[in-house]
Amino acid sequence: MNTKLKQKLEQVAIKNGIHAMEWLGGSLYVKFQGSLPIIKADRTHIALRKIMKANDTGVNMFSVGDEWVYDFVPLDAEVPYVDYSGEHIPDGIDTQINLENEIALGK
């Protein structure tokens, strides 16, 4: 994966409020900060899938302890999307996540 594409993918994770991020063997490992990391992980997963679909690549997401792993695979090896956060996202959740991100950035 080229550096420019990696940077674009990292920006998606950063936008969703990360605590830590690391590339290992072609997979992106992310720890999210604040509350509701599952919703942040799902939001990141959806955005990464949209970006990678244009490159004929799929994205599988796994939870490993307090980290989320985004594994980049051939499009035909991508597993169907699973909403780990539940069927419904509570009203106002976008506002809460945005506030947490601004607090973390010192705004």
As a dihedral over the C-alpha atoms of residue 77, residue 80, residue 84, residue 89, rounded to 10 degrees, the angle is: 140
Distance CA 55, CA 107 (A): 35
Res 87: pLDDT: 46
Res 101: pLDDT: 67
Res 73: pLDDT: 93
pLDDT tens, residue by residue, 79-93 = 877 666 554 445 555
Task: Tokens 């830590």: give the residue.
Answer: 20
Domains and CATH numbers, the chain: 3-104 (3.40.109)
Res 95: pLDDT: 65
Query: How many Cβ atoms from other residues are within 10 Å of residue 30's Cβ?
Result: 24
pLDDT tens, residue by residue, 16-67 = 778 889 999 889 999 988 777 888 888 888 889 988 988 889 999 998 888 9
- Find out whether 63 and 41 touch, Cβ atoms under 8 Å: yes
